[in-house]
Amino acid sequence: MEDTSGFYKRDLGGILLFGRYFVLSANYHLKGEYHESYEYPVDGWSWFESDEAARVALGFPTRLEEAFNAMTDEDKRKLLGLGG
């Protein structure tokens, strides 16, 4: 399974930003190796152990929710055993 731990932030445009190993700014430098030493959030950035955990905490749909929402109504009914 892919390691998706890292720094995550919801930007003003509603985009999920991700910094796997570090985040650089004119005002700070967050390094993954020191993620346990920071007091979060740092300018909106927080450390999460997985993409799914970040999505839940920051109010984004999970990958499963995105996949389900992309399905047609007919496919959803089939998946849920409600006929086609």
pLDDT in tens, 20-63: 999 999 999 999 999 999 999 999 999 999 999 999 999 887 77
Q: Which of 25, 52, 51 is nearest to 38 (CA)?
A: 25
pLDDT at site 21: 97
User: How many other CB atoms are found less than 10 A from the CB of residue 38?
Assistant: 15
Tokens of 60: 């984004």
User: How many other CB atoms are found less than 10 A from the CB of residue 78?
Assistant: 13
Name the pTM for this structure.
0.75
